[in-house]
Amino acid sequence: MKNSLIMNDLSFPSILIMLFLCLASCNNTGQRTDGTQDAGETSKQEMNTHRKQMGGLALYTLRDTLAINPKAVLKEVAETGYKYIEAAGYSEGKFYGMAPAEFKNYLNEIGLAPISSHHGEVTLDNADEMIAAAKEAGFRYFVIPIPPMGHFKYDPQTNTLGMSEEVEEIMNIINTIAKKCTAAGLECLYHNHNMEFEENSKGIVPMDYFIENSDPAHLNFELDLYWAKKAGADPVHYFNKAPGRFKAWHIKDMDEQGRFAPVGTGKIDFAEILKHKDLAGMEYYFVEQDKAFDQTPMEAIKISHDAIMALGFE
């Protein structure tokens, strides 16, 4: 009876106003009156909550945009669903313009873990400084991504990669840097391209030489599956040749033209290779795409992230 009296005291316009306010309040939750989500009210972070936090990203893929606004790009990487990263942007004592401690703290703030860092400019003279910076930034692996100290060759006319044939000298440099890493509490990895799997004029296959003339207590490998396949090498053969030594993988696909492609869109059988991850000793993997053709790099890494889940990566 009391409720009836209250309703009777309200004018019809007042009731309409109350109904309007109620509906407006409901819509502010991001739901339409039919119960469906209003995309305009959904934040980018909410849109990515379905993405499982997993896998790593090689930041070389996003080098152009990282050079402009590194913090915003790193935040989007985290929102895309990646769990950890590999840096490739150390210069003048900083990672992407941030001092090592600042870089480490920012990654922690946005939920990314620093796992490995590429140092293509490393020499016997600057190795100690670079290793110390990588250690301070919280990295586990220090990666030598190319034959160091002038032994890497690139022909812009043919867009081909190569290396000098002084394999023994290259090995001595790498082993020396690797021992420095061990002494500092880091693990050293060597990352391949195609040329390490190709026999040189002296009859030496550099990757075989590196495996046979290095100590796994100091040096192991980051296997770039694309480049191995590009050279016609079988990753599983190398897992059997050096079991437990391929601690990290780079994963990117190969399209029908032999170009880089997002994972799952090309012809590399990642699921088959993944069956042998324990033999390889794989502990981390990083999505990488050296160059994007049909998407932006950010779009490509989102496609790849969806694919690694479907393929069974963890």
Whether residue 208 contacts residue 244, with contact meaning beta carbons closer than 8 Å, is answered with no
- H/E element, 262: none
> Among candidates 225, 228, 237, 313, which has minimal Cα distance to 274?
313
Domain positions in the chain are: 1-42, 50-311
Taking the C-alpha atoms of residue 253 and residue 276, their distance in angstroms, rounded to an integer, is 18
Alpha-carbon dihedral 288, 214, 90, 152, rounded to 10 degrees: -80
pLDDT digits (tens, 9 = 90+) for 9-35: 444 334 333 433 343 343 443 333 333
Q: Look at strands 260-261 and 219-224 and give their pairing.
A: unpaired
Q: Which residues contact 101 (CB under 8 A, 6 or more apart)?
A: 136, 137
The CA distance from 238 to 197, in Å, is 10
Q: Rounded distance, CA 170 to CA 183, Å?
A: 20
Strands 90-91 and 94-95: antiparallel
**Residues composing the chain:** 314
Q: Which CATH superfamily is domain 50-311 in?
A: Divalent-metal-dependent TIM barrel enzymes (3.20.20.150)
Token pair of 139, please? 């990295």
Closest CA to 89 of 73, 108, 78: 73
- Which of these, 172, 171, 95, 84, lies nearest to 135 by C-alpha position? 95
* Span 191-225, pLDDT tens digits: 999 999 999 999 999 999 999 999 999 999 999 99
Tell me whether residue 120 is exposed, middle or buried, using C-beta atoms within 10 angstroms of its C-beta: 0 to 12, 13 to 18, 19 or more. middle
Total-model pTM: 0.84
Residue 230: what pLDDT?
97
**Low-confidence residues of the chain, pLDDT below 50?**
1-49
Q: What is the DSSP letter of 188?
A: E
Integer Cα distance of 298 and 54 in angstroms: 16
What is the Cα–Cα distance from 277 to 249, expressed in whole angstroms? 10
pLDDT in the model for residue 15: 37
